[in-house]
Amino acid sequence: MSPTSPTQIILSTSRANGLVAVPYGEEHRRAASALEEAGFQRIPGGAFAAPLTSGAATRQMASALVHRAYEHGATITTSPRPYLGDFGEDLAARLPGTWSAHLELYYNPIVQEDLIPPLWESGDLLQALLHDAVPGAVVLKNELGTELLLIERPGHSSGYLLGAFATEEYDDNWEEPNAPRSIVLPGEPDFAAHAVATTFLPAYSRALHHRRLDTILRALKRIRAEHGTLQAIKDSGRYSDGVPLADSRMIPEMERTFGDYAWLSFRDVLEHAPVLLSRCRPAMTPWPQDAAALDRLRTALADSQEVRMEDKALSGVLFSVDGWKQARSRFGLAALPAIETWLADSEGFERQARAAAPGGPVALSAPSPRLLTARPAPPAVPRSVAAHR
């Protein structure tokens, strides 16, 4: 990270709060003391503010601030941008749907490092957090659970950077291959909102779709390998290296071990498959015959819901390694029919999910509602599987 003064006061103007000041640096407490002694009041979000009433009062406040900053060894910087909290609120109000904007201030430069693990990003925003001083950011959230991060663009007198956090199901985001790239936003809120709505959010939706799909396919690949090994041992009576089983009573223990392993991976399928299945519309693809396979997969998910709910209910109750292993083994064996259905129909699912990626030819048509948690009734004739996100 670029070196900064250990004690800084960053000034900007706000339509509601007047003159806004942010203490920043390793010695930010000294900057905060200077602001308080100069008559600034702390406002929601953590910044300090002083009203811009009359010219005389403003000059008096500015003079007091200069003197107090000098006494505390603080450097005063004037931002060419408006107060970040105001811009964040203006942007949120113009985005499609319902968004909230929450300002976060990082008084100490080291605090911004906490943003990096949950950030799902492969562009300039990540580089800024790694190498530049970022005194504050706005977290934007919508009703669908999408979280975005907005910062002032380092090294420029105008503009902003906006990127995405990973959804709560993911915590391994560093160099994730599907990560969307952050976008540079102009300083005018209407133009910025247009860029987010028409460029960034569609790219984010596509990236999340592909990440979910990759997560499911990797989980099924892991399960398939172990399932194939177990089946070969049961069919041949021999280990994979050709050595005969000493006792056929070892098979149940092998099945329990497989159940434990399979459930750990199948949870990823249960977590991410519903939203992808909701987008699949086989009748609008070259493979309409996949509709039956997708119905089987939906049934498999519905049949696994009770086991999944028990797994979630035990979270925080079981603490021992052996206890969790036994529980996962039981869950995996209970869900084995569903797991085998997913292994058998994964090819059709993959091609339908790829065809249904947001922005693709299938996604351009508005889907109709369908509940994924309910068991679908078998169709009397081949039909389109319609769903909604």
Residue 251: predicted pLDDT: 86
Question: pLDDT higher for 101 or 231?
Answer: 101
User: Is the pLDDT confidence value at 362 over 70?
Assistant: no
pLDDT band at 360 (very low <50, low <70, confident <90, very high): low
Residue 235: predicted pLDDT: 72
pLDDT band at 233 (very low <50, low <70, confident <90, very high): confident
Over residues 276-287, mean pLDDT: 97
User: Is the pLDDT confidence value at 18 over 80?
Assistant: yes
User: Is the pLDDT confidence value at 382 over 90?
Assistant: no
User: Is the pLDDT confidence value at 326 over 60?
Assistant: yes
Over residues 158-179, mean pLDDT: 91
User: Is the pLDDT confidence value at 187 over 80?
Assistant: yes
Q: Which of 11-15, 295-299, 317-321, 358-362 has the largest mean confidence?
A: 295-299
User: Is the pLDDT confidence value at 274 over 70?
Assistant: yes
Least confident of 60-74, 192-206, 354-368: 354-368
Residue 76 host element (H or E): strand 75-78
One-letter amino acid of 195:
A
Q: Compute the mean pLDDT over every residue in the chain, rounded to the nearest whole number.
A: 88
Residue 319: predicted pLDDT: 67
Query: What percent of the chain is modeled with pLDDT above 70?
Result: 89
Query: What percent of the chain is modeled with pLDDT above 90?
Result: 74
- Distant-in-sequence contacts of 378-384, Cβ < 8 A, 24+ apart: 378/295, 379/291, 379/292, 379/295, 382/288, 382/289, 382/291, 382/292, 383/283, 383/291, 384/281, 384/282, 384/283, 384/284, 384/288, 384/291
By the 8 A CB rule, do 369 and 388 touch?
A: yes
User: How far is it, in rounded angstroms, from Cα 19 to Cα 2?
Assistant: 27
- With CA atoms as reference, report the closest residue to 305 among 313, 293, 315, 295: 313
Least confident of 22-26, 104-108, 315-319: 315-319
User: How far is it, in rounded angstroms, from Cα 79 to Cα 73?
Assistant: 19
By the 8 A CB rule, do 211 and 202 touch?
A: no
Q: Kindly state the tokens that stand for 284.
A: 């609008």
Task: Give CA angle at 252 (250, 253), nearest 5°.
Answer: 65
